[in-house]
């Protein structure tokens, strides 16, 4: 068996504060194979976003990190400074939740794509433009060179997220980290972006770490699903197995609270049986907000 494109091994992270070390991640291990979507699901504050950020060295200041993040024999945790910049974007791409903030509002789409291509691939302007147009084509944003001279606000939310994906993939990274890439989108727009991500995985053999709180989205797009809680992965397995025969009590609890899941809420009668003040709330963690469409 070939090595996975990305291997997160026993990753622990704590943040140093005035009253000592606050543990955030506890022994997180995940493999993301080529041509595979590894899902990482959990509620707000479970540590899923920090796991993704740590892979590209964007963990918060004052973090103390142990473990390994392997890519092609390199431990990304041991790479620092400008060498890390070479990893970001060219070997690992990242897509964030809100393309309204991840794209620069005052730069033309073309500039945002070509800056990135020229930095990593050291190519001339002409070739960078060709690559940029091809990258947009790949994500289904048409218009070619004309599109390159427009600003992000001239596009819809779904198109902006496609552009963010085009930028992330412009230098052909082997791994894409997608952190809630469809959460800010309407469901009908989300459908298109999920189909795009899946087709890129299948056609390019991309390895995707797909982070989301939405188990419906996870079920649609992921091959393997890891469930995270309080900084730990409580369950990780084949998608179908996790959804239909969850092994961990927390996974079962999560699914039971969702409409349309196996063992979840299917009718008004099911709703009458749940405790509206229920355990999901009382599990101790602050239930932070996430931004919504």
Partner 1 sequence: MSGRAPVIAARDLEVTYPGHPPVHAVRGVSFELFRGEVVGLVGESGCGKSTIAKVLTGLVRPAAGEVEYHGRPVRPLGVGRRPLAQTGIQMVFQDPGSSLNPRRPVGAQIQDGLDLAAKRARRSGRRSGAGPVGEPPADPANVRRVIGQPADAAVSPTAARLLPAGSPGRWLERVGLEAADQSRYPRSFSGGQRQRIATARALAAEPDVLIGDEPISALDASTQAKVAYLMSRLALSQGAVLLFISHDLSVVRLIADRLLVMWAGRIVESGPTEAVWSNPGHPYTKVLLGAIPAPDGAGRLPLVPPSAAAFDAPPVIHAP
Question: Nearest 10 degrees: CA dihedral of 191, 193, 198, 201?
Answer: 180
Is position 214 an interface residue for partner 1 (rule: CB under 8 A)? yes
Residue 128 CB, nearest approach to partner 1 (Å): 31
Residue 288 CB, nearest approach to partner 1 (Å): 6
Binders of partner 1 among 246-285, rule CB under 8 A?
A: 253-255, 257-262, 264-265, 267-278, 280-281, 285
Binders of partner 1 among 108-137, rule CB under 8 A?
A: none
Is position 210 an interface residue for partner 1 (rule: CB under 8 A)? no
* Count of other CB atoms within 10 angstroms of residue 281: 11
Residue with tokens 């939405």: 214
Strand pairing category for 20-32 and 37-41: unpaired
SS3 246: coil
DSSP result, 174-233: SEEEEESTTTTS-HHHHHHHHHHHHHHHHHH--EEEEEES-HHHHHHH-SEEEEEETTEE
Size of the site for partner 1 (CB under 8 A): 64
Is position 244 an interface residue for partner 1 (rule: CB under 8 A)? yes
Q: Which is nearer to partner 1, 29 or 219 (CB)?
A: 219
Q: Which is nearer to partner 1, 12 or 257 (CB)?
A: 257
Is position 43 an interface residue for partner 1 (rule: CB under 8 A)? yes
Q: Which is nearer to partner 1, 154 or 281 (CB)?
A: 281
Binders of partner 1 among 166-205, rule CB under 8 A?
A: 186-192, 194-195, 198
SS3 11: strand
Strand pairing category for 207-212 and 175-179: parallel
Residue 256 CB, nearest approach to partner 1 (Å): 9
Distance of CA 23 to the CA centre of its chain: 22
Please report, as ranges, the residues that interact with partner 1 according to CB under 8 A: 43-44, 157, 186-192, 194-195, 198, 213-223, 239-244, 253-255, 257-262, 264-265, 267-278, 280-281, 285-293
């Amino acid at each position: 068996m070939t090595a996975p494109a990305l291997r997160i091994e026993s990753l622990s992270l704590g943040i140093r504060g005035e009253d000592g070390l606050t543990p955030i991640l506890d022994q997180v291990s995940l493999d993301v194979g080529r041509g595979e979507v590894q899902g990482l699901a959990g509620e707000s504050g479970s540590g899923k976003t920090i796991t993704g950020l740590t892979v590209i060295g964007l963990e918060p200041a004052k973090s103390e990190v142990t473990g390994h993040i392997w890519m092609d024999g390199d431990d990304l945790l041991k790479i620092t400074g400008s060498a890390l910049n070479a990893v970001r974007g060219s070997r690992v791409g990242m897509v964030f939740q809100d393309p309204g903030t991840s794209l620069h509002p005052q730069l033309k789409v073309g500039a945002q794509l070509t800056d990135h291509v020229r930095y990593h691939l050291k190519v001339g302007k002409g070739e960078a433009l060709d690559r940029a147009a091809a990258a947009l084509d790949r994500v289904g944003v048409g218009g070619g060179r004309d599109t390159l001279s427009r600003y992000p606000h001239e596009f819809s939310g779904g198109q902006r997220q496609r552009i963010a994906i085009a930028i992330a993939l412009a230098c052909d990274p082997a791994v894409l980290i997608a952190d809630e890439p469809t959460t800010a989108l309407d469901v009908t727009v989300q459908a298109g972006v999920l189909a795009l991500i899946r087709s890129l995985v299948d056609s390019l053999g991309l390895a995707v770490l797909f982070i989301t709180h939405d188990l419906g989205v996870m079920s649609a797009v992921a091959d393997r699903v890891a469930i995270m809680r309080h900084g730990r992965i409580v369950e990780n397995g084949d998608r179908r197995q996790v959804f239909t025969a969850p092994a961990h009590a927390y996974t079962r609890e999560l699914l039971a609270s969702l409409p349309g899941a196996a063992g979840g809420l299917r009718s008004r009668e099911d709703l009458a049986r749940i405790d509206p003040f229920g355990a999901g709330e009382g599990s101790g963690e602050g239930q932070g907000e996430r931004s919504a469409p």
